[in-house]
């Protein structure tokens, strides 16, 4: 009978409790990571602050053969560098830099205050129309015209490629590093800009419909994190039920529960550590490939200049999973250790006191009653 109970308890723990516990550790960790203000607002603001300097560095390095071996791509950046204006200056003249560091950063700051519980939830609108106006500004038009004027004249093949771009859009076609007739170049650039601007929405609304969020003092981020921990009740029900069935004694229940919790959390801890540091290694070594092919040299250059952004994303995504898995492992170890303490206390409990023998009943008792002479009187 005990063997059957242990098998039933083991089935509940192994096939239900442990897989659900493994999944809930990842779910709680990722929820904690993705709803934090550091991930949603602080990191984008950090990227915004680094964009102008990173753009200038990318334009400067892209002109060198040490970074870009493709002559066509390098010629475009060399022509753009002769336009007489740097990317950071262009962002300043078009108002894009002011929008990034002002309105956009302010909206992200407000979102962070709501997530931290410092402000009441209310709809926040991120206006993207300044970005559209910046892309359609005369400064951008003059910059593109100056870049084209610094390119050599196109041959017949170059003119054909420019005509295809003007007719069908840039798509995956590489713009030839040559100067076509003004009508073809203007049509191609207008098509590319119109497509990009048309794909952008006018605004992005955040916190719409959550004005009466019931846990405002906690903040949205902290409230969602706290609520996510209730997900652990699902695997706990299977593990504790299996432990009770397998061994109903206090020591056995604690031992089965502690061992099961540790065995369910330890693989999640190892996997989260492996994924985090393997991803960081892949970013540092350039070992990642997209769509089965190596990325372009320009993409590698942009990625290298903004490497701290994906590194920060990876750290903030997987670090909470590691912390949650470590805490669950620690809980399992504590329960397992307490089980031996309970067993030791049970063994060392005081023995019951010896009972005093009662006087015999019956005739012998009458003979030994009050006033009776002793059995062996002294002579």
From CA 143, how far away is CA 138, in angstroms rounded? 8
pLDDT at 350: 54
Q: Sorting pLDDT into bands at 50, 70 and 90, what band is 169?
A: low
Q: Please, are residues 323 and 72 in contact by the beta-carbon 8 Å criterion?
A: no
From the list 105, 111, 107, 57, the residue with the least C-alpha distance to 81 is 57
- pLDDT of 374 higher than 70: no
Instruction: Check whether 214 has a pLDDT greater than 90.
Output: no
Q: CB of 193 within 8 A of CB of 134? A: no
Residue 219: pLDDT band with limits 50, 70, 90 = low
Taking residues 304-316, report their average pLDDT. Answer: 82
Average pLDDT estimate for 226-245:
93
Where does the pLDDT of residue 232 fall: very low under 50, low under 70, confident under 90, or very high at 90 and above?
A: very high
Per-residue confidence band for 1, with pLDDT thresholds at 50, 70 and 90:
low
CA distance 228 to 171: 43
Q: What is the mean pLDDT of the chain?
A: 80
> Which pLDDT belongs to residue 65?
85
Question: Residue 333 above 90 pLDDT?
Answer: yes
Lowest mean pLDDT among 177-181, 236-240, 269-273: 177-181
Which residue has better confidence, 337 or 102?
337
Determine the pLDDT at residue 157: 86
Q: What is the pLDDT of residue 223?
A: 79
In the prediction, which pLDDT does 42 show?
77
Residue with more model confidence, 259 or 164: 259
Q: Are 17 and 235 in contact (CB under 8 A)?
A: yes
> From the centroid of its chain, how far is CA 94?
34
What per-residue confidence (pLDDT) applies to 378? 46
What percentage of the chain reaches a pLDDT higher than 70? 81
User: What is the band of 172 on the pLDDT scale with cuts at 50, 70, 90?
Assistant: low
Residue 37 above 80 pLDDT? no
Res 372: pLDDT: 46
The CA distance from 330 to 262, in Å, is 8
pLDDT of 254: 93
Per-residue pLDDT at 371: 47
DSSP state of 193: H
Question: Among residues 232, 312, 275, 332, which one has the least CA distance to residue 33?
Answer: 312
Phi, psi of 136, deg, nearest 5: -100, 10
Q: Read off the pLDDT of each residue in 335-352 and give the average, rounded to a whole number.
A: 69
Instruction: Please state the rounded mean pLDDT for residues 313-328.
Output: 92
Cα-Cα-Cα-Cα torsion 142, 147, 151, 155, nearest 10 degrees, comes to -60
Helix (H, G, I), strand (E, B) or coil at 212: coil
* Pairwise CA distance, residues 16 & 230, whole Å: 17
Residue 343's pLDDT band (cuts 50, 70, 90): low
């Amino acid at each position: 009978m005990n063997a059957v109970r242990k098998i039933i308890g083991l089935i509940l723990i192994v096939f239900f409790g442990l897989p659900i516990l493994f999944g809930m550790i990842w779910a709680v960790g990722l929820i904690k990571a993705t709803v934090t203000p550091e991930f949603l607002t602080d990191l984008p603001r950090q990227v915004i602050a680094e964009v102008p300097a990173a753009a200038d560095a990318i334009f400067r390095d892209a002109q060198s053969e040490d970074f870009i071996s493709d002559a066509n791509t390098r010629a475009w950046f060399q022509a753009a560098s002769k336009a007489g204006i740097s990317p950071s200056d262009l962002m300043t003249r078009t108002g894009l830099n002011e929008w990034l560091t002002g309105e956009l950063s302010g909206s992200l700051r407000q979102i962070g205050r709501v997530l931290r519980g410092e402000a009441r939830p209310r709809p926040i609108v991120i206006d993207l129309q300044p970005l559209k106006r910046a892309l359609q500004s005369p400064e951008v038009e003059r910059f593109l015209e100056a870049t084209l004027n610094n390119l050599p004249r196109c041959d017949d093949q170059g003119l054909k490629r420019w005509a295809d771009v003007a007719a069908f859009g840039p798509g995956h076609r590489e713009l030839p590093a040559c100067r076509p007739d003004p009508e073809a170049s203007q049509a191609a650039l207008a098509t590319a800009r119109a497509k990009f601007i048309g794909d952008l929405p006018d605004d992005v609304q955040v916190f719409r419909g959550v004005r009466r969020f019931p846990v405002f003092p906690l903040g949205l981020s902290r409230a969602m994190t706290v609520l996510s921990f209730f997900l652990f009740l699902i695997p706990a029900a299977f593990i504790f039920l299996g432990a009770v069935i397998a061994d109903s004694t206090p020591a056995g229940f604690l031992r089965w529960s502690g061992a099961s919790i540790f065995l369910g959390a330890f693989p999640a801890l190892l996997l989260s550590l492996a994924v985090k540091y393997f991803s960081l290694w892949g970013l540092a070594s350039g070992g990642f490939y997209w769509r089965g092919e190596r990325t372009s040299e320009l993409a590698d250059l942009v990625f290298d200049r903004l490497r701290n952004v994906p590194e920060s994303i990876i750290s903030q995504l997987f670090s909470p999973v590691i912390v949650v898995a470590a805490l669950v492992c620690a809980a399992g170890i504590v329960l397992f250790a307490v089980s031996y303490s309970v067993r030791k206390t049970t063994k060392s409990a005081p023995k019951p006191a010896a009972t005093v023998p009662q006087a015999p009943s019956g005739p012998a008792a009458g003979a030994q009653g009050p006033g009776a002479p002793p059995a062996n009187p002294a002579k």
